[in-house]
Structure formats: structure tokens, C-alpha cells
Homo-oligomer: A and B are copies of this chain.
Amino acid sequence: MTRRPSRKERKEQIILAAAGMFAEKGYANTLVAEVASAADIGKGTVYEYFRSKDDLFFTVFEYFVEQTRRVAEEALVGAAGKDAAGKLVAYSRAIIAWMAGHRHIYTLSLEFWAASVSASPELRDRFEGSFMETYEAFRKIVADIIQEGMDSGMFQKRVDPRAIASGIMGAWDGLGLQSMFDPAFDIEKTAEAYIKLVINGLMNETT
């Protein structure tokens, strides 16, 4: 005999069900009824927890952002103690591993990216703002590692840490994208070779 879930648990249950459905069928093609059914609740119950389908969508997004940040945070912790190059490799591996391991969920990114341009103006602003903030957080982490490498003398090449961080992050997203279109794409192997090349670029002064 299972107890009735708390309000918070019930809400998360719906968010997870919605995340799954949105990832699978896309936001526009997912019926609220399907989310409810996936969460094993009645259609009306969804509206007890979310004002509208849009509201649910944005909440799923926030949940997703939260998770993404936690992944980054954990990766950072796992990389502590290593030198700059080691940190970069470890950090990249963690991000890519998460993408590879949550391919099903990662699909949501595409939905969110699209929504950030095509949603209603109010929603769009919220998406855009959140994206900028999240990307900035990632960028700071990566740029700090690069700066540390330059400071320690490990990275000989003089670069703008933020620009390079942007490029590295871009590559992560872009590789994730390619793995989305091509199931045979080996994102982990590809990313591994790639980050090492970038690090090689950082370690050698241009002659």
C-alpha cells in the first residue's frame, strides 16, 4: 500500500512525465492528456499543479537547467586537484558522458532552443534570459580553467579565455547535435580526440 505522494513529489512526477513526452514527441505534438497518462494521473490534475501547458513546459525547462548545472558542478568537483589540462579533459568527459547517457532527455534541448526563438514573447524572454545565464555559468568555469592553465605556465599560448571557452562549449553542443541526427555517431570518442587537440593548441606557443 503506497502512501499518497506529497505535493512536491506529485509535481516532480508530472515534470518527469512531461520531460519524457516532450523529448519523445516534441512540445507541440504532445497532448496534455498524454503527459497526464504518462504520470498516471487525470488530465485535470496537471492543471492543479501548472497554470497552463506553456507553464509546464517552462517548468520542465527550469528543471532541465537545474540538472544541467548540477552535472557541471559535479564534473567540476570530480576534476578538482588535477592540473588545467587534466581538468579540461575531465570536465569535457563528464559533460559528454552525461549527454551520451541521457540522449533521450538531451533531445529536449532542441525543443528548448527552438522555443527560445519561437515561443510567445513573454516565454521567449524567460528562455533567453535563462539560457544566457546558464551559458555564462559554464563559460566562466571553462574560462577559469584556461586562465589557470595560462597562469601556471602549462598553457603557453596566449588566448582570450572566454572566447575559447565559448568555442569549447559550442563544440559540446554541436557534437551533441550530430549525435542526435546520427545514432552511429560516437560522440565520446570524437569529443575525446577533439578536446585533446584543443589542449594541444593551448599548450604550444605559436611559432
Point out residues on A near B: beta carbons under 8 Å: 23, 25-29, 107, 110-111, 113-120, 128, 131-132, 135, 157, 159-160, 163-164, 166-178, 180-182, 185, 189-191, 193-194, 196-204, 206-207
Task: List 13 A-B residue pairs with CB atoms under 8 Å apart, sorted by A's residue number.
Answer: A28-B118, A111-B117, A113-B114, A128-B181, A132-B182, A135-B181, A135-B182, A166-B178, A167-B194, A167-B197, A169-B174, A197-B198, A201-B204
| Contact between A177 and B181, CB atoms less than 8 A apart | no
Q: Which residues of B contact A172 (CB under 8 A)?
A: 170, 174
| Contact between B190 and A197, CB atoms less than 8 A apart | no
Q: Which residues of B contact A132 (CB under 8 A)?
A: 181-182
Q: Which residues of B contact A168 (CB under 8 A)?
A: 171
- Ranked nearest first, the 9 interchain pairs of A and B with the lowest CB-CB distance are A26-B118, A170-B174, A201-B201, A167-B194, A204-B204, A114-B114, A173-B174, A200-B201, A174-B174
Q: Which residues of B contact A131 (CB under 8 A)?
A: 181-182
Whole-angstrom distance from the CB of A183 to the nearest CB of chain B?
9
| Contact between B197 and A164, CB atoms less than 8 A apart | yes
- Give Cα A113–Cα B178 distance, bound, in whole angstroms: 10
- Give Cα A194–Cα B159 distance, bound, in whole angstroms: 9
Given contacts A29-B118, A118-B26, A174-B170, contact A157 B194 (CB under 8 A): no
| Contact between B190 and A200, CB atoms less than 8 A apart | no
- Give Cα A202–Cα B193 distance, bound, in whole angstroms: 12
- Give Cα A101–Cα B168 distance, bound, in whole angstroms: 23
Q: Which residues of B contact A164 (CB under 8 A)?
A: 193-194, 197
Whole-angstrom distance from the CB of A141 to the nearest CB of chain B?
15
Identity of the chain B residue whose Cβ is nearest the Cβ of A174 in the assembled complex = B170
- Give Cα A203–Cα B116 distance, bound, in whole angstroms: 39
